[in-house]
Amino acid sequence: MYVKNRMTKIPYTASSDTKITTILDVMAEREFHRVPIVDDNGNLLGLITEGVIRANSPSKATSLSIHELNYLLSKTTAGDIMIKEVHTIHPDALLEEAAVEMRKYDVGCLPVIVDKKVVGIITQNDIFDAFIDLLGYHDVGSRVVVEIEEDKKGVLHDISGILMNNDASISHLGVYHEEGKILVVIKSHSVDAKHQKELLEEHGYHVVDYK
């Protein structure tokens, strides 16, 4: 899966002279939290986030009135406070690379760039949604989790063959390691989870969860 498959394409952007009050209004209206700042050619200049705006707003302890606060924000532009060193990614990068970059730099999003131009934006929520879709959480079907005692060739072929020979159609499959164990998560259709559990256990597999 690639970044281009999960990113928001052609996201809302703003220029460096856009007032912060305008950006806040757009964030509230469209329910997003980050805005790439670009020049007249669409090249990335920086990034504005809700966190950046909060960090550059007067403290709650200030004695300024609401009118004065609004006046200060109305005079502040994106260029005044934007993040200038922005971590980015290419649309053809793997989604896993985006996740690693976000974790590495502790950021909630990555503008997606081609030849310096912003073509999209990918966020933590996009990564979460991709993970949920990968395992078919919201899809109709049965789910079984098989614990594999030994990592050897042919295990997945054998498991899929058992289910296929009993009319189960696998729609999603994930393999992960947990505390020295290898767990295979299978989402399938046509055969209920309890029957799949029985089929797999008849062939010597340990089913640790099913629903």
Q: State the pLDDT confidence band at 59, using cuts at 50, 70 and 90.
A: low
Q: State the pLDDT confidence band at 158, using cuts at 50, 70 and 90.
A: very high
pLDDT score recorded for residue 137: 85
Over residues 129-145, the mean pLDDT reads 90
**Together in a domain, 142 and 192:** yes
**Together in a domain, 66 and 170:** no
Q: What φ, ψ does residue 204 adopt, rounded to 5°?
A: 90, 10
Distance CA 55, CA 49 (A): 10
pLDDT tens column, 71-108: 777 889 999 999 999 999 999 999 999 999 999 999 99
pLDDT higher than threshold 70 for residue 64: no
CATH of the domain at 170: 3.30.70.260
Taking alpha carbons only, the member of 140, 136, 186, 137 closest to residue 166 is: 186
- Please state, rounded to an integer, the average pLDDT across all residues of the chain: 90
Residues with Cβ within 8 Å of residue 52, at least 6 apart in sequence: 81, 82, 83
Query: Domain span at residue 147?
Result: 137-210
Three-state secondary structure call for residue 53: helix
Tokens of 22: 């305008």
Tokens of 51: 């966190």
**Together in a domain, 86 and 149:** no
**Listed residues 104, 131, 158: the one ending a domain:** 131
pLDDT higher than threshold 60 for residue 39: yes
- Lowest-confidence region among 118-122, 142-146, 156-160, 177-181: 177-181
Domain tally for the chain? Answer: 2
Tokens of 84: 């200038």
pLDDT higher than threshold 60 for residue 61: no
pLDDT higher than threshold 70 for residue 118: yes
Q: What φ, ψ does residue 180 adopt, rounded to 5°?
A: 85, -5
pLDDT score recorded for residue 141: 86
**Gyration radius of the chain's alpha carbons:** 24
Query: What DSSP element (H or E) covers 5?
Result: helix 3-6
Is residue 36 within 8 Å of 118, Cβ to Cβ? yes
